[in-house]
Amino acid sequence: ATTKWPPQCRDEWQVIRCGICEKLKAYSVQLSKDEEGEETEVRREDQDKINRFSTLHQKEKLLQADLKTKEKEKEDLEEVSSELELADEDEKVSYKIGDSFFLLPLPEVQELLAASIEKIDSDVTAVEEKLSELREEMQQLKTALYGRFGRSINLEA
């Protein structure tokens, strides 16, 4: 029994590849001419805005990761602080400074923890402010670029 291949296919693998391509074509969405809009020339200043947006987007990702880490660290410090409230006043507690642990009196450890929590709070606030400024600039760039290119540019991540 001979197998009849489509005219553009020489063997079974090409038939499989053609089938996959046909399925992909069925799922692809093409914009109509109205949706696509006119071809807009990309000027140097437009390219600079696109590059700036991309840079800001990468910084945003890094700052979000940094913020998440700092918030987790703050949560951990607050948990330790609440656990230490249950400890004996006369008890010495191991406190990590750098790579070393020191046995310190409980009140001193609580003061150090409070200072650490204040520091991490200010760090979180600083990162949130940077993120806010960054997002504001990104929104301005988005507005300008969508105004110029319409739907022919995608700045959504």
Q: Which domains does the chain have, with CATH numbers?
A: 57-152 (1.10.287.370)
| Rounded Cα gap, residues 140 and 155, in angstroms | 12
pLDDT class of 64 with cuts at 50, 70, 90: very high
**Does residue 1 surpass a pLDDT of 80?**
no
Higher pLDDT, 155 or 145: 145
pLDDT-derived band at 156 (thresholds 50, 70, 90) equals: confident
Q: Residue range 125-138: average pLDDT?
A: 97
d(CA 134, CA 29): 33
Residue scoring higher pLDDT (106 or 36): 106
